[in-house]
Amino acid sequence: MTTTNTVISSNFIQNIINEDLKNNKNNSRVHTRFPPEPNGYLHIGHAKSICLNFGIANEYKGQCNLRFDDTNPSREETEYVESIQEDVKWLGFDWDDRMFYASDYFEQIYDYAVQLVKNGKAYVCDLTAQQMREYRGTLTEPGTESPYRNRSVEENLELFEGMKNGQFADGSRVLRAKIDMSSPNVNLRDPILYRIMRAEHHRTGNTWCIYPMYDYAHPISDALEGITHSICTLEFEDHRPLYDWLINALDMENRPQQIEFARLNVTNMVMSKRKLRLLVEEGLVDGWDDPRMPTISGLRRRGYTPEAIRDFCERIGIAKSNSTVDIAMLEHCIREDLNTKALRAMAVLRPLKVVIENYPEGQVEQLEIENNPEQPETGTRTIPFSREIYIEQEDFMENPIKKFFRLAPGQEVRLKSAYFIKCEQVIKDEQTGEIIELRCTYDPETKSGSGTSTRKVKGTLHWVSATHAVKAEVRLYDYLLLEGEQEVQEGEKDSKDDINPNSMEKLTSCMIEPSLANATPEKRYQFLRNGYFCLDVKDSTPELPVFNRVVGLRDSWSKSQKS
């Protein structure tokens, strides 16, 4: 009996799979894979591919493998392999015991190449790289056959074995598929299958001095793992005929189907590993997990949640044509998630001291404040109130502009969960004229929740008690790429040119409420009126906790959707 796990289709890939299941293709199995090349850290674009591949496997009760596509030894490292596993797990996906490496198949991939040679479908070619380019033709002109194309099977077998045994110099010879030099698809003009390259591989060491090309190793890896649907990005569409040619030529038992979808581009984000590596290597960011990076590890350190990233990947959908998603949508997703999850807290980023002159010296009151009004079950906590407090510098104006409802000389405001205060006097530094302190009075009848005062004020300020506050550093972020200067075409321009010189602002003398001394990196906080924050795992010390702003409170994406 075959079970049908048909899923209500919401994208074209599900349509294809539903049709395959109806026709009992692959015995109605669904098996996908996520195939990163371990040459960098994963980014939000990879998250889209991860959610798609693992998501489809989950929906159809199938399986998804994690496979490292490690066919190019010159750029790959174990550090990347580890970070990729961590990131996939953190996003909430599980490959069970199906973690593979393309390099696991090097022996078999080699044997398949021998098989192609024996069947007259591959040959050793001695053209130089330059000659090879000339012979390849152009999009409008057919290519020219290599003079080495008609070598005998025996000669090819001997030369290919010689390549493997290290008899020839790097780059002096390649193994090519014998397909069609006049094909309108350049990928079919006798593509290279193997090259000679003396490089140490992160797993196979110096066992090999020939390495298979990605286009050759990939369909074989898919077939060996029993992959049914090999999902990749659009730029591989023209490679599909080669994928299918190889599966046929090798008469593979499993016949995976390649399906292409549009890669994710996001405004103000660099999404190429090469460019991200450049940022890291040139020290323009603090590593792959810099909170400004579009990497999964950067987003995690910044304070993004896996739920928000998965929600984002769900909302952007799967399409057949490339487009760019507004970064405001990603921010909308994290904001929505944190609105329900984040504990509210008071933190003053740019402190201005306020002395409440009529409040008894030495007195401390513990005031009650809710942890999250969106989640009443999270309860309340107490915060200390005393004679000296801090408010935000920007919440005071000596000469207030119109409609400035915050603190100003003679003007009254509410302190969140505390009392009304009124500004009586502004103390300035005699030399610089800088405001150093405000003298205020409070009205004991206005205690929050007491209901004794009928007076209304328009502004409510957050604050912390000066004697109880904890000092902290807060990092505010702007986009790493300047507005509109989103990903430039490969090689067209250096990504450094687009770097926003003001992408991070460090505020080193913030004052935060005492409860935040127990903050953990797993928790998220909404600093009232200042946005959502998360403790930085790397740079926080017991003396100085460091908080990253995940995102501000204002939602530009929701607004743009309504208008």
Residues lying near ligand ATP in the complex (CB under 6 A): 35-37, 45-46, 48-49, 232-233, 263-264, 271-273
Q: How far is the CB of 36 from ligand ATP (least distance, A)?
A: 4
Q: What distance in Å separates the CA atoms of residue 50 and residue 463, rounded to the nearest whole number?
A: 43
Q: Which residue is nearest to ligand ATP (CB)?
A: 45
Let me know: does 421 contact 354? Beta carbons within 8 Å.
yes
Identify which range of 31-39, 107-115, 449-457, 528-536 contacts Mg ion by CB under 5 A: 31-39
Let me know: does 358 contact 385? Beta carbons within 8 Å.
no
Q: Which does 352 bind (CB under 5 to 8 A by kind): Mg ion, ligand ATP, none?
A: none
Q: How far is the CB of 465 from ligand ATP (least distance, A)?
A: 48
Q: How far is the CB of 160 from ligand ATP (least distance, A)?
A: 27
Q: What distance in Å separates the CA atoms of residue 540 and residue 537, rounded to the nearest whole number?
A: 6
Whose Cβ is closer to ligand ATP: residue 470's or residue 499's? 499
Let me know: does 386 contact 468? Beta carbons within 8 Å.
yes
Q: How far is the CB of 522 from ligand ATP (least distance, A)?
A: 27
257-261 and 229-233 as β-strands: parallel, antiparallel, unpaired? Answer: parallel
Q: Which does 306 bind (CB under 5 to 8 A by kind): ligand ATP, Mg ion, none?
A: none
Let me know: does 528 contact 372? Beta carbons within 8 Å.
no
Q: Which does 48 bind (CB under 5 to 8 A by kind): ligand ATP, Mg ion, none?
A: ligand ATP
Q: How far is the CB of 88 from Mg ion (least distance, A)?
A: 16
Q: How far is the CB of 89 from ligand ATP (least distance, A)?
A: 16
Name the active-site residue from 98, 203, 263, 277: 263
- Phi-psi domain of 493 (left: phi exceeds 0; alpha: psi -120 through 50; beta: other): beta
Q: How far is the CB of 261 from ligand ATP (least distance, A)?
A: 7
The answer to whether residue 61 is catalytic is no
Residue 235's nearest CA partner among 431, 11, 45 is 45
Q: Which does 264 bind (CB under 5 to 8 A by kind): ligand ATP, Mg ion, none?
A: ligand ATP
Q: How far is the CB of 405 from ligand ATP (least distance, A)?
A: 45
Q: Which residue is nearest to Mg ion (CB)?
A: 37
Q: Which does 470 bind (CB under 5 to 8 A by kind): Mg ion, ligand ATP, none?
A: none
Count of residues engaged in binding Mg ion, rule: CB under 5 A: 1
Phi, psi of 10 (to 5 degrees): -120, -5
Q: Is 547 helix (H, G, I), strand (E, B) or coil?
A: strand
Q: Which does 350 bind (CB under 5 to 8 A by kind): Mg ion, ligand ATP, none?
A: none
Whose Cβ is closer to ligand ATP: residue 131's or residue 233's? 233
Whose Cβ is closer to Mg ion: residue 45's or residue 298's? 45
The DSSP secondary structure of 445-483, one letter per residue, reads GG-TTT-------S-EE--EETTT-EEEEEEEE--SB-T
Whose Cβ is closer to Mg ion: residue 193's or residue 329's? 193
Whose Cβ is closer to Mg ion: residue 37's or residue 555's? 37
Q: How far is the CB of 14 from ligand ATP (least distance, A)?
A: 17
Whose Cβ is closer to Mg ion: residue 68's or residue 442's? 68
Long-range contacts of 6-15 (CB under 8 A, 24+ apart): 7/59, 7/60, 10/317, 11/317, 11/318, 11/319, 12/318, 12/320, 13/52, 13/56, 13/229, 13/231, 13/259, 13/261, 13/318, 14/56, 14/59
Q: What distance in Å separates the CA atoms of residue 346 and residue 390, rounded to the nearest whole number?
A: 11
The answer to whether residue 273 is catalytic is yes
388-392 and 460-461 as β-strands: parallel, antiparallel, unpaired? Answer: unpaired
First and final C-alpha spacing in the chain: 52
Q: Which does 307 bind (CB under 5 to 8 A by kind): ligand ATP, Mg ion, none?
A: none
Whose Cβ is closer to ligand ATP: residue 49's or residue 146's? 49
Whose Cβ is closer to ligand ATP: residue 37's or residue 155's? 37
Q: What distance in Å separates the CA atoms of residue 286 and residue 539, rounded to the nearest whole number?
A: 11
Q: Which does 263 bind (CB under 5 to 8 A by kind): Mg ion, ligand ATP, none?
A: ligand ATP
Whose Cβ is closer to ligand ATP: residue 42's or residue 188's? 42
Residue 324's nearest CA partner among 261, 263, 265 is 265
Let me know: does 289 contact 538? Beta carbons within 8 Å.
yes
Site string for Mg ion, 36-55 (x = CB under 5 A): -x------------------
The answer to whether residue 178 is catalytic is no
Name the active-site residue from 273, 335, 387, 447: 273
C-alpha 192: how far from chain center: 33
Name the active-site residue from 25, 37, 203, 523: 37
323-325 and 264-266 as β-strands: parallel, antiparallel, unpaired? Answer: parallel
Q: What distance in Å separates the CA atoms of residue 251 and residue 273, rounded to the nearest whole number?
A: 35
For residue 192 the two structure tokens come to 């290279």
For residue 464 the two structure tokens come to 């912390």
C-alpha 321: how far from chain center: 21
Identify which range of 16-24, 34-42, 292-300, 321-329 contacts Mg ion by CB under 5 A: 34-42
Q: Which does 233 bind (CB under 5 to 8 A by kind): ligand ATP, Mg ion, none?
A: ligand ATP
Binding site for Mg ion (CB under 5 A): 37
Active-site amino acid positions: 37, 263, 273
